[in-house]
């Protein structure tokens, strides 16, 4: 229910109101505090990849990724297993790409780490294909990101 509430917020100002408890809908109030009240619950997932930002669009895209991960994990077992199989298949493909990258790097060839673009296959698995253009543009602007090593 909390994830659904966050996803239906629609924009950062509404999400801010939800988290502050300013909205009257009891199912949407105090989401952040409700999470912290579960002191003895050790099922927390910590995402350290997210960088601090004042860019509301970037923050919103990260929220969509995190909530999509939770939604995938909350699906019935057969759907969850299907998503895991898709991820496992991509990881198997990455093994060959990683070996080639390591080989090229060892022998001084110019190459790009294949894991740097793994987001391209992960977003559609998380049903976030609409976010691909945003992330493609964002990643392309990162300094030194697309340089050969």
Whether 72 and 10 share a structural domain: no
The model's pLDDT over 24-76, given as tens digits with 9 standing for 90+, comes to: 444 433 344 333 334 555 444 444 455 677 888 988 998 898 889 888 888 88
Query: Does residue 5 sit within a domain?
Result: yes
Q: Are residues 60 and 110 in the same domain?
A: yes
User: 105 and 136: one domain?
Assistant: yes
147 within some domain: yes
Quick check: is 21 in a domain? yes
Note down the domain range covering 131: 54-149
Are both 82 and 142 inside the same structural domain? yes
Count of structural domains within the chain: 2
One domain for residues 121 and 72:
yes
Residue 66 token pair: 């995190």
**Is pLDDT larger for residue 103 or for residue 12?**
103
Taking the model in full, what pTM does it have?
0.59
The least confident of 32-41, 79-88, 136-145 is 32-41
Residue 49 lies in a domain: no
Please tell me whether residues 39 and 97 are part of one structural domain: no
Question: What's the pLDDT score for residue 103?
Answer: 92
User: Does residue 23 sit in the same domain as residue 81?
Assistant: no
Whether 127 shows a pLDDT value over 90: the answer reads yes
| Residue 105 and residue 126 share a domain | yes
Quick: pLDDT tens for 104-122.
989 988 888 888 788 899 9
Q: Decide if 68 is inside a domain.
A: yes
Query: Are residues 143 and 72 part of one domain?
Result: yes
| pLDDT at residue 28, as a whole number | 39
Q: 3-class secondary structure for the chain?
A: CHHHHHHCCCCHHHHHHHHHCCCCCCCCCCHHHHHHCCCCCCCCCCCCCCCCCCCHHHHHHHHHHHHHHHHHHCCCHHHHHHHHHHHHHHHHHHHHHHHHHHHHHHCCCCCCCHHHHCHHHHHHHCCCHHHHHHHHHHHHCCCCCCCCC
């Amino acid at each position: 229910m909390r994830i659904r509430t966050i996803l239906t917020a629609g924009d950062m100002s509404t999400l801010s109101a939800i988290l502050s408890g300013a909205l009257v809908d009891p199912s949407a109030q105090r989401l952040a505090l409700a999470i912290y009240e579960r002191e003895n619950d050790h099922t927390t997932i910590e995402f350290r990849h997210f960088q601090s930002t004042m860019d509301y669009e970037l923050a919103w895209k990260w929220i969509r990724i995190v909530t999509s991960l939770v939604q995938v994990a909350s699906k019935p077992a057969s759907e969850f297993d299907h998503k895991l199989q898709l991820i496992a298949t991509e990881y198997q493909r990455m093994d060959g790409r990683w070996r080639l990258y390591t080989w090229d790097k060892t022998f001084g060839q110019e190459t790009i780490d294949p894991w740097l673009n793994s987001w391209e296959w992960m977003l559609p698995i998380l049903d976030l294909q609409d976010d691909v253009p945003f992330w493609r543009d964002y990643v392309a602007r990162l300094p030194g990101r697309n340089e050969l090593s």
